[in-house]
C-alpha cells in the first residue's frame, strides 16, 4: 500500500502557519502520513482577492484578537512566542530557499528555523546576513544556496508555486490538501492527518 500523504501549503510570514510548521512533522510521523511541503507567497493571492494586507492587519479589532489567540496557542503547544514588531515580516529570500529545497531532507528544519527566529525571537529573517546565519547553523552551504535561490529559474519556481496555490483556490495559510479535499487553518491540521489515514484505509478496503 502507498504511504498516506497530504500537501502542506504555508507562508513563512504567516503566524498561523508558524503553529503548523512547528507541529506537522511530528504529528504526521506518528500517524504514518507523508507530508509534501509547499511553501508559497500568500501576499499576491490576498492582493488578487482585493485585500490590502492580511485581514487582521486591515481590521484592527480582529488583529488584537489574533495576537491574544497566538499567545494562547503557543502556550498550548509549548512553542516560543514573541509578538513580532513587524508584521507581516518580509520573507521572500527565505521562501526562495524553501522552494529551492523542495524534496530535500533539511527543508522542514529550515522552515522551523525561520519561523522560530521570526515568531520566537522577533528577529528579521530575510536579509542575506540573517539567511546566512540560519543556513550555517543547519550545517549548509549558505553562499551556494543563496546564489541558487536568487537564480531566475528558482524565482520562476516560486512564482509558479504561488500561482498553483491560487489555481487550487487557496485563500489563506496554512492550507492542507488530502487529494482534492481542502482543510484550512492550523486548527484543521489534525483533521487533515486523520483524513489522509482514512483515505488509505478506504483504498485498502476497496
pLDDT tens profile 98-145: 999 999 999 999 999 999 999 999 999 999 999 999 999 999 999 999
Which of these, 46, 68, 134, 44, lies nearest to 97 by C-alpha position? 134
Residues 18-22: what's their mean pLDDT?
98
Domain range for 63 is: 5-205
- Percent of the chain past pLDDT 70, that is, above it, reads 93
pLDDT for position 169 = 97
Q: What is the pTM of this model?
A: 0.93
Rounded to whole angstroms, the Cα distance separating 94 from 113 reads 10
Rounded to whole angstroms, the Cα distance separating 43 from 58 reads 13
Residue 9 has phi, psi (to 5 degrees) of -100, 125
SS3 40: coil
Q: State the cell numbers at 194.
A: 486523520
Residues 165-179: what's their mean pLDDT?
97
Residues 6+ apart with CB under 8 A from 142: 131, 132, 135, 136
Q: State the cell numbers at 176.
A: 492542507
Residue 124 has phi, psi (to 5 degrees) of -70, 155
What sign results for the dihedral spanned by CA atoms 47, 123, 76, 23? positive
pLDDT for position 206 = 45
- Find the CATH number of the domain harbouring 151: 3.40.30.10
Mean residue pLDDT of the chain comes to: 94
pLDDT for position 203 = 46
Secondary structure of 85-116 as H, E, C letters: CCCCCCCHHHHHHHHHCCCCCCHHHHHHHHHH
186 DSSP 8-state letter: G
In this model, does residue 58 exceed pLDDT 80?
no
Split into its structural domains, the chain has a count of 1
Which of these, 19, 34, 136, lies nearest to 74 by C-alpha position? 19
In this model, does residue 201 exceed pLDDT 70?
no
Alpha helices, H only, the chain: 15-31, 42-48, 55-58, 60-77, 92-100, 107-115, 128-137, 142-149, 152-167, 189-205
Amino acid at each position: 500500500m502507498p504511504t498516506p500523504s497530504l500537501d502542506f501549503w504555508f507562508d513563512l510570514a504567516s503566524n498561523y502557519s508558524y503553529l503548523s510548521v512547528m507541529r506537522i512533522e511530528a504529528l504526521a510521523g506518528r500517524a504514518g502520513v507523508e507530508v509534501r511541503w509547499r511553501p508559497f507567497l500568500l501576499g499576491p493571492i490576498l492582493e488578487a482577492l482585493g485585500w490590502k494586507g492580511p485581514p487582521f492587519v486591515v481590521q484592527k479589532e480582529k488583529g488584537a484578537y489574533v495576537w491574544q489567540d497566538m499567545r494562547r496557542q503557543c502556550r498550548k503547544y509549548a512553542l516560543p512566542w514573541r509578538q513580532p514588531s513587524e508584521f507581516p515580516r518580509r520573507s521572500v529570500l527565505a521562501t526562495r530557499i524553501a522552494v529551492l529545497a523542495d524534496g530535500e531532507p533539511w527543508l522542514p528544519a529550515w522552515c522551523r528555523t525561520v519561523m522560530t527566529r521570526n515568531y520566537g525571537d522577533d528577529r528579521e529573517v530575510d536579509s542575506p546576513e540573517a539567511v546566512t546565519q540560519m543556513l550555517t547553523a543547519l550545517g549548509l552551504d549558505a553562499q551556494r544556496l543563496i546564489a541558487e535561490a536568487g537564480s531566475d529559474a528558482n524565482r520562476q519556481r516560486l512564482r509558479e508555486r504561488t500561482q498553483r496555490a491560487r489555481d487550487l483556490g487557496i485563500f489563506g495559510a496554512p492550507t492542507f490538501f488530502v487529494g482534492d479535499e481542502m482543510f484550512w487553518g492550523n486548527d484543521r491540521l489534525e483533521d487533515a492527518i486523520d483524513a489522509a489515514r482514512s483515505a488509505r484505509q478506504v483504498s485498502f478496503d476497496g
